[in-house]
Chain A
Amino acid sequence: MYTQGLLEQGSKTVTVAAVEDAERLQRFEAKIDAEEKIEPKDWMPDAYRQTLIRQISQHAHSEIVGMLPEGNWITRAPTLLRKSILIAKVQDEGGHGAYLYSAAETLGISRAEMIDQLLAGKAKYSSIFNYPTLSWADIGAIGWLVDGAAIMNQIPLCRCSYGPYARAMIRICKEESFHQRQGYDIMLKLARGTVGQRRMAQDALDRWWWPSLMMFGPPDGASQHTALSVRWKIKRFTNDELRQKFVDFTVPQAKFLDISVPDPDMRWDEAAGQHRFGEINWAEFHEVLKGNGPCNRERLTARRNAHDAGRWVREAAAAYAAKHTARSVAAA
């Protein structure tokens, strides 16, 4: 799962002017220019730190919230093998969340703070998870399209200038690539299946196609942070470049499945060597980001409920650990 062009959204405008020490900044940028990694103990401009905290924590939140729409089908997976694969996949997403929270913690923020921000509705997560999973084909479509889009975004992040994030992404990308393949495999089985299964597959593509394109974030012209993020090698490609790559990659896969991309304007541009596609409904995107998507409230409520219902458990674990430490100290 994944971070979208989320870092563009609603953040304060931070400028390099805020950086007090010109010399340290110069050394920092020289390191980045030389493709060296920035590590947690290195000096970094506050704007770099804040951008990364925002991006990595949004990515972590996306993994954790993303467990909900897919988890919705664990009890109803159609075979025991599919059920095993889905549990393992959702478990991977949870693992990515934990791993990414740790990467963000190297920048000086705690997991508890980040989770509080999420539960308070102050932090963003990928808008795609505010759409419902209505059929088994949605589990296929999420793997194929959503994880596919995530991979497009994340492969360049493996070369991100911040060491802990880049290393986390290498591991995460390997797993996402497996997720993408299992999603496509679900779609293939449905597309070659009964009339009812084919209808399910087409319906899933109809509902997930546009939200998947929105995962790359707003168009480059409307993007606030791209320039600085590109200069500091947090980001290697623009939103539109990645979106185009995704479309060109995915349209032939849909053809192979013999289901149609729900875009009447989609056509192959021979001269440009790429697909032209229709206008994305950015009003819908912004509404979903503002909290008005079909499942925003449900997703946050589910996270809050899990957090609240788990409070006595976490308190018990802390109390037990404290007693245990006190006892071993007393015994020593």
Chain B
Amino acid sequence: MSARADAGVTVAVPDRVRHLLRIADTSLVLAQRLGEWVGHGPAIEEDLGLANTALDLLGQARLLLAYAGELEGRGRSEDALAFLREEADFLNATLAEQPNGDFGDTIVRQFLIDAYQLELYEQLMTSADPRLAEIAAKAVKETRYHLRFSSAWLVRLGDGTAESHGRVQGSLDRLWPFTRELFDADNLDRAIAVAGIGPQLAALGAAWSARVDAVLAEAMLRRPAASPYRWYGKQGLHSEHLGYLLADLQHLQRTHAGASW
């Protein structure tokens, strides 16, 4: 990690858990969204591609949630954290919970998050937290593939037909405002960076921007102007969409309290 770390700086356990949940919940919520696509993709190969990404993200979420539960030390398993937390306790980026929309919306959402996760996991591989570094090292390989898939589709749609160009530019314009949250550091992000557990978000944002701009140029798409920041999913303040997503996700665990599956 480049801007690292006064050795010996520590972060309180509840804050480390919240930091893990930000990463875990983004993967979990995005996997849940991608799961909605299975069986409904524009062609079999795309159906399989989205399902693959969903599986990887779910795998990442499980490792991170299990770790968060252990670190927390209150006996909560990955499932307790996924199925029995309330909406305000979910700390995913607001972008991840946005509805699937059409295939273009899904690809834009995926591309923006893939590029973010790739930068993030690359940095986390040298985290002062060895367990997190280990999870990041596994996730980074998967994320490279996700970004290849979403970038290739973004370029095809952006540089395909007039219709596809117009649609996907519209998706980009709609989803862009949600990206600001990813790089806008709050006190938790700053503490994590100072301790060398996670990256400086400003630097992460600059690397992300360069990567995104290169693909947008190839896709003949215009980068939308920055818009005022108003999303704080990572602090538990979500858009209207997360409640419904969790109602689906948590339905059985909530209906059959204490049952084992």
Which residues from chain A sit less than 8 Å from chain B, CB to CB?
64, 67-68, 71, 74-84, 87-88, 90-91, 94-95, 97-98, 101, 136, 186, 189, 193-194, 196-197, 302, 305-306, 309-317, 319-320, 323
Given known pairs A80-B82, A91-B38, the reply for A310 and B103 (CB within 8 Å) is: yes
Assembled-state Cα–Cα distance A88/B31 (Å) = 13
Whether A315 and B164, one on each chain, are in contact in the complex, defined by CB atoms closer than 8 angstroms, is yes
Helix, strand, loop or mixed for chain A's interface? helix
Assembled-state Cα–Cα distance A315/B103 (Å) = 13
Contact size class for B?
35 or more
Assembled-state Cα–Cα distance A311/B55 (Å) = 26
Instruction: Supply 12 A–B pairs (Cβ within 8 Å), ascending by A.
Output: A75-B249, A81-B62, A84-B58, A87-B58, A90-B39, A98-B44, A193-B260, A310-B103, A315-B161, A317-B160, A319-B160, A320-B159
Whether A306 and B38, one on each chain, are in contact in the complex, defined by CB atoms closer than 8 angstroms, is no
Residues of B within 8 A of A186 (CB): 261
Residues of B within 8 A of A197 (CB): 256, 259
Can you name 20 extra interface pairs (CB under 8 A) apart from A80-B65, A313-B164, A319-B164?
A64-B44, A71-B39, A74-B36, A80-B82, A82-B261, A87-B51, A91-B51, A91-B55, A95-B48, A98-B45, A136-B252, A193-B259, A302-B39, A306-B40, A309-B42, A311-B42, A315-B160, A315-B164, A316-B156, A320-B156
Whether A83 and B156, one on each chain, are in contact in the complex, defined by CB atoms closer than 8 angstroms, is no
Contact check: which of A94, A196, A309 meets B51 at CB < 8 Å? A94
Contact check: which of A91, A309, A323 meets B102 at CB < 8 Å? A309
Q: How many A-B residue pairs have CB under 8 A?
A: 141
Assembled-state Cα–Cα distance A98/B55 (Å) = 19
Whether A87 and B35, one on each chain, are in contact in the complex, defined by CB atoms closer than 8 angstroms, is yes
Whether B51 and A310, one on each chain, are in contact in the complex, defined by CB atoms closer than 8 angstroms, is no
B79 within 8 A of A: yes
Assembled-state Cα–Cα distance A77/B54 (Å) = 14
Least CB distance from A207 to B in Å reads: 18
